[in-house]
Amino acid sequence: MRSMSNNGGSKIHGNLTERMDAFKERCRQAGLKVTPQRIAVFRTLIESNEHPSAEMVFRQVRKIFPNISMDTVNRTLLMLKEIGAAIVVPGLGGPKRFDGNIQPHHHLICMKCKKIIDFYHEPFDNIQVPQRVKRAFAVSRITVYLEGLCDKCRPKR
């Protein structure tokens, strides 16, 4: 059974070193410098499975890089989205939540505790967008978005 993630396990797909190397390469191809700050932010992001906000990444990355500034974290996260190394998870306002997992997947959002939970479901990856939409809009990403209450927040069964 394909599991819902958020299972405490790592979200990193493939070897960490490989992903870091691929990231460095992607920076170079985009004409961006590979700085220790960028490496630290990217690594923190892909090691997290809680769809962190800039603030959350900042707190975490500070542990190994005490002098990094919030701006740099913010700018780096936006840059990651720009070059396609991260996505911003759709949400209902509040701080942006980032995700280093760019594999096709979908999200549940708990309306109460704001937790974001990944789930994988191949049929959703292949849903067909109607022609009339494709004609009027260059679709780059399709996601199914579920609102509700997580196990902890919903009234007891």
Partner DNA sequence: CTCTGTGCAAACACTTTGCAGCTAA
Partner DNA sequence: TTAGCTGCAAAGTGTTTGCACAGAG
25 binds DNA (CB under 7 A): no
Residue 91 makes CB contacts below 8 A (sequence gap 6+) with: 97, 109, 116
Question: 131 touches which of a second copy, DNA, none (CB within 5 to 8 A by kind)?
Answer: none
Q: For 6-51, where are the alpha helices, taking DSSP H only?
A: 16-29, 36-47
36 binds DNA (CB under 7 A): yes
Q: Which of 79, 96, 104, 125 binds a second copy (CB under 8 A)?
A: 96
CA distance 114 to 71: 24
- Region of residue 76 (left: phi > 0; alpha: psi -120 to 50; beta: else): alpha
Question: 133 touches which of a second copy, DNA, none (CB within 5 to 8 A by kind)?
Answer: a second copy
CA distance 86 to 78: 9
83-122 footprint of DNA as x/- string (CB under 7 A): ----------xxxx--------------------------
CA distance 30 to 96: 24
36 binds a second copy (CB under 8 A): no
Q: Which of 8, 92, 126, 156 binds a second copy (CB under 8 A)?
A: 92
Question: 102 touches which of a second copy, DNA, none (CB within 5 to 8 A by kind)?
Answer: none
Q: Which of 4, 13, 22, 28 binds DNA (CB under 7 A)?
A: 28
Q: Are 139 and 126 in contact (CB under 8 A)?
A: no
